[in-house]
Amino acid sequence: MIKGEDKAMNIVSNIAIERSKGSKLPFVDFNNIQFGKQFSDHMFTADYKNGEWTNLKISPYEPITLSPACAAIHYGQSVFEGMKAYKNEEGEIFLFRPEENAKRINISAERMCMPTVPQELFMDALKQLIKIDADWVPAVKGCSLYIRPFIFASEELLGVRPADEYKFMIFTSPVGGYYNDEIHVKIETEFTRASEGGVGYAKAAGNYAASLYPAKLGEAQGFRQLIWTDAKEHKYIEESGTMNIMFHIGDTLLTPFTDLKTTLAGITRDSVLTLARDLGIKVETRKVSVEEVITAMRNGELKDAFGTGTAATLAQISSITYNDERFELPPLDTRTLSNEIGQIIQDIKRGKVEDTHNWIYKI
């Protein structure tokens, strides 16, 4: 049985539903979707007050009202998730490992001193919202419905302390296929994304704010993304932009470990590592030094480097620049490991191969 099927009808949360009066769907050109600019008809909202989540509702997508002293705006208590709903050829809608997002938003929330959301509430809200906006899940190949769950401090509060009031919301946005142009990256040696003891492992809004300036400087130099290095010495590789990063060196798939909590534990990362192990590929998760990657590039041993994340699944890197020296990576069609694993993930999502790890969650 496909996971989710047995639970789909078993909605336990008491969610009030107010349907939109008219759908915006007829005005959307699914063959021409701009990322994050179009939103489906409904959104989910819950308010955290007096220590519990109340006012659970699905209502038309619209602006919300907040106090100018809203704590999230001033002190940044705000965390989010990113996931996707897909439609297969039979028109069935499913998610990929959504329980992992439910767990992770709570890991993020705890670090930012915010209330957690019960997994049941997260899953119920998600299922109901996607069912109501089922027609918004594109049937076009490569397209999907991007889902944005988030929690933020909504209390009117200027004192610095953890807020007492929060909102947990979910809205969705149809997205097109990932545009696969060449990705040239630079190893960043000045700015950092995360430090030990910090919040790098949380999907916190502030992590993104802090990365924009270095990313902008990198972009002006022609780099699509930055490879982040450790805050102490800039000697160890952590992530690539807002994706995890992997290297295929010799016969080994190598990726930075998450033990130091400076790297976000991506669900795509975990899926790729699991599939690589299934294929009998040697996998190493540990500290990855800049030096060993540079040496592998000089020796021609670096077969592949790619980012992993929900947005693109796998994003193969075309060149890596370090201290003004640019290394070109092998042509994309020779990247057997990432091409194969990317294909397996697509096939699992389309139901073309057996979902041996129970990753597909039917709505």
Whose Cβ is closer to ligand PLP: residue 154's or residue 211's? 211
Structure tokens at 202: 């949380």
Measured from the CB atom, the residue of 4 and 200 that comes closer to ligand PLP is 200
Please state, in angstroms and as integers, the Cα–Cα distance from residue 288 to each residue in 102, 136, 193, following that order.
29, 41, 16
In b/e form, how buried is each residue of 20-51, taking b as 16+ CB within 10 angstroms? Answer: beeeeeeebeeeebeeeebbbbbbbbbbbeee
Q: Given the complex with ligand PLP, which of 77 and 244 has the nearer CB atom? A: 244
Question: What residues pair up with 42 in beta bridges, in sequence order?
Answer: 60
**Which sign, positive or negative, has the C-alpha torsion 81, 87, 93, 96?**
negative
Q: Which stretch binds ligand PLP (CB under 6 A): 69-77, 161-169, 172-180, 242-250?
A: 242-250
Residues 133-162 that bind ligand PLP (CB under 6 A): none
Where would I find the beta strands (DSSP E) of 225-341?
Answer: 225-229, 236-240, 244-249, 252-256, 282-286, 288-289, 302-309, 313-316, 319-322, 325-328
Task: Please name which of 102, 231, 110, 245 lies closest in space to residue 170, comparing C-alpha atoms.
Answer: 102
Q: Is 312 a residue that touches ligand PLP (CB under 6 A)?
A: no
- Does residue 229 belong to the site contacting ligand PLP (CB under 6 A)? no
Pick the closer one to ligand PLP by CB: 28 or 210.
Answer: 210
Least separation, in Å, of the C-beta of 312 and ligand PLP? 9
Per-residue binder mask for ligand PLP (CB under 6 A), 78-97, x = binder = ----x---------------
**Which of 39-47, 63-71, 265-273, 340-348 is the region at the interface with ligand PLP (rule: CB under 6 A)?**
265-273
Query: Distance between CA atoms of 108 and 79, rounded to whole angstroms?
Result: 6
> Which residue matches tokens 């430090």?
195
- Give the nearer residue to ligand PLP in terms of CB position, either 78 or 310: 310
Nearest approach, Cβ of residue 307 and ligand PLP (Å): 8
Q: Confirm or reject binding of residue 269 to ligand PLP (CB under 6 A).
A: yes
The SS3 call for residue 15 is: coil
Strand, helix or coil at 289?
strand
**How far apart are the C-alpha atoms of 124 and 258, rounded to whole Å?**
30
| One residue of 116, 172, 258, 268 binding ligand PLP per CB under 6 A | 268
Answer yes or no whether residue 261 interacts with ligand PLP by CB under 6 A: no
Decide: is 309 part of the binding site for ligand PLP (CB under 6 A). yes
266 binds ligand PLP (CB under 6 A): yes
Select the residue interacting with ligand PLP from 40, 154, 242, 258 (CB under 6 A): 242
Nearest approach, Cβ of residue 61 and ligand PLP (Å):
23
Contact residue for ligand PLP among 41, 124, 133, 239 (CB under 6 A):
239
**What is the three-class DSSP state of 224?**
coil
Q: What are phi and psi of 11, to 5 degrees?
A: -85, 120
Please say whether the dihedral angle defined by the alpha carbons of residues 102, 106, 108 and 114, taken in this order, is positive or negative: positive
Site size for ligand PLP (CB under 6 A): 14
CA neighbours within 13 Å on the CB side: how many for 345? 27
Q: Who's near 51: CB < 8 A, 6+ residues apart?
A: 115
Q: Rule CB under 6 A: say whether 203 interacts with ligand PLP.
A: yes
Q: Which stretch binds ligand PLP (CB under 6 A): 111-119, 237-245, 320-328, 331-339?
A: 237-245
Q: Is 33 in the site for ligand PLP (CB under 6 A)?
A: no
Q: Which of 106, 244, 255, 262 binds ligand PLP (CB under 6 A)?
A: 244
- Using CB under 6 A as the binding rule, whether residue 206 contacts ligand PLP is answered as no
Q: How far is the CB of 200 from ligand PLP (least distance, A)?
A: 7
Contact 98, 123 (CB under 8 A): yes
Binding test (CB under 6 A) with ligand PLP, winner from 154, 229, 310, 316? 310
CB of 60 within 8 A of CB of 68? Answer: no
Find the binder of ligand PLP among 226, 243, 275, 360 (CB under 6 A).
243
Binding site for ligand PLP (CB under 6 A): 82, 203, 239, 242-244, 264, 266-269, 308-310
